[in-house]
Amino acid sequence: MMRWLEGSWRSGRRLHALASISALLIAVPILGCSMLSKDEDAVPEGSADKLYNEGLFLLNNKQEYDDAAKKFDQVDRENPYSDWARKALLMSAYSYYKAQKYDDCINAAKRYVTLHPGSPDAAYAQYLIGVSYYDQIPDVFHDQARADKAISALAEVVRKYPDTEYALNAKKKIDIARDQLAGKEMEIGRFYLKKHDFTGAINRFKVVVTQYQTTREVEEALERLTEAYLSIGIVDEAQTAAAVLGHNFPDSPWYKDAYRLMKSAGVEPNENKASWLSRAFKGLG
């Protein structure tokens, strides 16, 4: 009934989904950079275009992403006010991303957004910032600061560039990152519950229910709240948690567990409309 193993298994599946979707979606943004390798303008002779093309050669050669980034950085340093510098800065950010040098990618992309906020490629630069944080999100057993940063940066893509191809991808990644944050709260809550620190557990599960109620973790959080409240004798809140769970997720296996807990305690799920649990889910049923 405690479903401890299932909770750990789901944490592993969350990481697998995060990695799979990351691999699937990161192929899309390079289309935003493809225009940068086209000779749409007259190409003047000189060190800027030579360095830029050398960077493209290294980038296309794969596995030489770090060297490519250095070439693009050199363009920016030696020709800071040229159009080549603008193009090279974004290509540098992308090259660093491919080299998995995420901090360097973030710095270059942030500089691009600051210097060229009106550029058609600013959306892609902002997206690079977000995915650089996103790709560093660890499992739920570790600090989730990067998940918070990923959500913030990706939300900027959605807010500032809602009509771009990157906004849709950003929304998907935000949902996964939010699920990761909810998973972290659940992991801590389960730990407290196992230690019989029911107040600590309730506080963690409450965060999931109030802040992450659109994630898949919310079903388990409501069942755990049922269990924790029953354990400390706050029966009406336990009944409400079970009732809210049943109303919003009637086919959930977590509701079946919550209902069995209710029956074993000799009570039925019963929603108290004045409860914080009921208010949290108002309008979602």
User: Does some domain include residue 220?
Assistant: yes
User: Does some domain include residue 263?
Assistant: yes
CA distance 11 to 170: 22
- The percent helix, strand, coil of the chain (3-state, each to 5) is 70, 0, 30
Q: Choose among 86, 75, 141, 156: nearest CA to 116.
A: 86
| pLDDT score of 26 | 43
Query: Both ends of the chain: CA-CA distance in Å?
Result: 26
| pLDDT score of 88 | 95
- Please give the residue range of the domain that contains residue 266: 196-280
User: Does some domain include residue 19?
Assistant: no
| pLDDT score of 239 | 97
User: Does some domain include residue 15?
Assistant: no
Tokens of 92: 């540098």
Query: Residues of the chain whose pLDDT is less than 70?
Result: 1-46, 283-285
User: Does some domain include residue 88?
Assistant: no
User: Does some domain include residue 136?
Assistant: no
Q: Choose among 94, 95, 33: nearest CA to 58.
A: 95
Work out how many domains the chain is built from and give that number.
1
| pLDDT score of 46 | 52
Tokens of 147: 């998940």
| pLDDT score of 144 | 84
User: Does some domain include residue 142?
Assistant: no
User: Does some domain include residue 58?
Assistant: no
